[in-house]
Amino acid sequence: MLRKLLALSLLLTLPSCSAPAVSNATCPSLPIYSPELQTQAADELDTLPQTGVIVTVFMPDYGSMRAAVRACLSAKTGK
């Protein structure tokens, strides 16, 4: 289970390593997760060591990427 979560975190994080800064190009879309899936993910996250790399590095990076996409989408739509 931990290996799957780590692999998922890496897959979600790695594209940002080579991506250039947000330009005037099209903003990427954000996946929408069901409340049930979010609850399951939160439960799984609670079982991880709070000092581990997934919790302290990968998850904040993923949150930052999602915030950047939301900002890009907001700038494009004017909302």
Q: What is the pLDDT of residue 76?
A: 85
Q: Give 32-59 pLDDT, tens digit per residue.
A: 999 999 999 999 999 999 999 999 999 9
- Alpha-carbon distance 59 to 52, whole Å? 10
Return the percentage of the chain with pLDDT > 70, whole number.
67
Orientation angle between helical segments 2-18 and 59-77, nearest 10 degrees:
50
Lowest mean pLDDT among 12-21, 25-34, 36-45, 68-77: 12-21
Q: How close are the terminal C-alpha atoms of the chain, in Å?
A: 39
Answer whether 0.75 is exceeded by the pTM: no
